[in-house]
Every structure is written in C-alpha cells, then in structure tokens.
C-alpha cells in the first residue's frame, strides 16, 4: 500500500510543479502504478500532463490571435521524446487540421525527420504561438509573450534531451537573443540546461533549397549529441570538401 501512496505523491507533485490544478483522468491504484517509474515519469504520465495543459489552452483568449483562429494548434508527438522541434506558429493548413507542420513546409520537416532515422511519432513537434497569425505574418512580441508560458510548460513536461528550433523567431525567443538565424545555426545553445540547435525553418528551405545541406549538417550534430547512429553516406556522395 505504501508503494501506491508513494506513486500518488509522485504524480501529484509532478502536476503541482507544472502549475496544473486539475488531473485529466481518474486516479486509482491499478491505473496509477504502471505510470510511474523510479527516477522519472513515463510517457503515460507526461501525456496526461500535456492533456491537462491542452484543456487549459482550449478557451485561451490571451492575445488577439484568438479571435481569428479556427483551431488551437497545441502540438503533437511522443510525450517522452528525446528530440523536440519548435517552430514559430501555425499556417493555414495547420489552423484547419489543428496539427503542426502539415503543409508543404511540414512535408519537408517530415522528410528531415525520416532522413535522421526517426518518425514523426518518435519526436515532439510544437510552436512558439498556438494560433495562426493572419496572412502567415510573423507573430508579434505581445503574441509571443502571451503564448510563451505554454511552450515552456510543454518543454518542462516532455523534458527532451535536445531541442531543434526552426527559424529565427523560435530560436531567438527560446534562447533570448537577437542574433540572426544565419549566425545562430550550426552551434548548440542551452535552454534550462537542454541543448538547443537553431536551424532554418522548412518554409525558408522551400525558397532557398540550396541551403538544405546546412540544415542537414545541423541535424547530424543533433544525432551526434543524442548518441544516435549517423545515417550512412550514399555511394558516391562523400562529404563535401
């Protein structure tokens, strides 16, 4: 019995630390016991915390973007992911489907993830702002400020080992800098002790395909940081000199 009580205390402490006041599922000893492991929290507990956070966001009117949205694009993927991708905000297709990176730029991101030897369901994908800026314009500072606590709580729940920020806004916001993305990319920075690799946004690559190799170089550094095997070079495609 004491073990179950310890599990309950662990889970409640986890939610309390995240500022979540309502548990999104019933707590019972049989259901709770397998969701907690010594020294951490399993994907099931993290999924519950993300679900509670999403419910908190569903009626958000924290900035003017809320008045024009069809959907809040919360984020998706493995709640226990080692790698997290963070973009700037949803576009038209994302607003319709309530999913991040599902348009043409999203297809490019999915391709990058596959080239890294992963699947979308292995990683977690989110955005700095959760509602579509009109005309796909850049989110404004007050909009970023209103939404920033939510992505920070997502990061805290997921606790990834590495974050890849996609584009200028997500990179500058997360690591608190004004350095251009062209100078940020390629080097690791840190957010709350988590290594952060800034790189170009997939939408940028749609217009500048010649720079795809730079994003791939950044991805290889991320794989190396994660201790994952690097994809083999294709025959006749040795490293550039």
* Together in a domain, 9 and 50: yes
* Together in a domain, 185 and 90: yes
Contacts of 195 (CB under 8 A, 6+ apart): 161, 162, 163, 188, 189, 225
Question: Does residue 234 lie in a domain region?
Answer: no
* Together in a domain, 205 and 117: yes
Among residues 141, 137, 205, 214, the alpha carbon closest in space to that of 173 is found at 141
* Together in a domain, 98 and 182: yes
Q: In which domain, by residue range, is 10 found?
A: 2-56
Question: Does residue 240 lie in a domain region?
Answer: no
At 117, list the tokens: 């030897």
* Together in a domain, 181 and 77: yes
Contacts of 157 (CB under 8 A, 6+ apart): 18, 46, 49, 50, 53, 79
Last residue within a domain, chosen from 56, 76, 95: 56
Confidence check: pLDDT of 106 > 80: yes
Question: Does residue 236 lie in a domain region?
Answer: no
CB atoms within 10 A of CB 54: 16
Cα distances (angstroms) measured from residue 195 to each of 34, 82, 182: 30, 11, 18
CB atoms within 10 A of CB 149: 11
Question: Does residue 88 lie in a domain region?
Answer: yes
Number of domains, the chain: 2
* Together in a domain, 108 and 215: yes
Angle formed at CA 79 by CA 220 and CA 113, multiple of 5 degrees = 30
**Domain holding 205: CATH number?**
3.40.470.10
Among residues 67, 58, 2, 56, the alpha carbon closest in space to that of 29 is found at 2
Question: Does residue 9 lie in a domain region?
Answer: yes
This model's pTM is above 0.85: no
Residue 38 pLDDT class (50, 70, 90 cuts): very low
Q: Scanning the structure block, which residue is given the tokens 């990834």?
A: 160
Residue 160 pLDDT class (50, 70, 90 cuts): very high
Question: Does residue 182 lie in a domain region?
Answer: yes
* Together in a domain, 85 and 118: yes
Q: Spell out the alpha helix ranges (H) of the chain.
A: 2-17, 29-32, 43-57, 92-97, 104-115, 141-158, 168-175, 181-184, 202-207, 212-226
Confidence check: pLDDT of 41 > 60: no
Which tens digits make up the pLDDT trace of 163-182?
999 999 999 999 999 999 99
**pLDDT in the model for residue 237:** 45
* Together in a domain, 34 and 144: no
Q: Spell out the alpha helix ranges (H) of 123-211.
A: 141-158, 168-175, 181-184, 202-207
Which tens digits make up the pLDDT trace of 128-159?
999 999 998 999 999 999 999 999 999 999 99
* Together in a domain, 19 and 112: no
* Together in a domain, 92 and 125: yes
Question: Does residue 36 lie in a domain region?
Answer: yes
* Together in a domain, 114 and 188: yes
At 192, list the tokens: 């709350």
Specify the length of the chain in residues: 241
Average pLDDT over residues 189-213: 97
Question: Does residue 237 lie in a domain region?
Answer: no
Confidence check: pLDDT of 58 > 80: yes
* Together in a domain, 143 and 198: yes
């Amino acid at each position: 019995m004491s073990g179950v009580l310890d599990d309950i205390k662990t889970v409640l402490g986890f939610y309390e630390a995240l500022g979540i006041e309502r548990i999104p599922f019933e707590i019972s000893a049989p259901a709770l016991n397998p969701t907690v492991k010594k020294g951490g929290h399993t994907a099931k507990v993290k999924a519950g915390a993300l679900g509670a956070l999403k419910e908190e966001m569903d009626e958000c009117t924290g900035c003017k973007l809320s008045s024009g949205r069809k959907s809040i694009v919360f984020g998706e993927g493995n709640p226990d992911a080692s790698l997290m991708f963070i973009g700037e905000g949803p576009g038209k297709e994302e607003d319709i489907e309530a999913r991040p990176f599902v348009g043409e730029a999203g297809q490019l991101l999915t391709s990058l993830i596959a080239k890294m030897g992963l699947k979308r369901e292995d990683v977690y994908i989110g955005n700095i702002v959760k509602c579509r800026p009109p005309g796909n314009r850049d989110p404004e500072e007050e909009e970023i400020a209103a939404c920033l606590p939510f992505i920070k709580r997502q990061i805290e729940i997921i606790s990834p080992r590495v974050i890849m920020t996609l584009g200028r806004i997500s990179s500058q916001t997360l690591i608190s800098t004004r350095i251009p993305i062209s100078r940020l990319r390629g080097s690791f920075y840190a957010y709350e002790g988590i290594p952060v690799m800034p790189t170009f946004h997939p939408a940028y690559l749609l217009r500048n395909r010649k720079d795809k190799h730079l994003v791939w170089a950044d991805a290889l550094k991320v794989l190396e940081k994660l201790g994952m095997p690097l994809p083999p070079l294709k025959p006749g495609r040795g490293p550039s000199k």
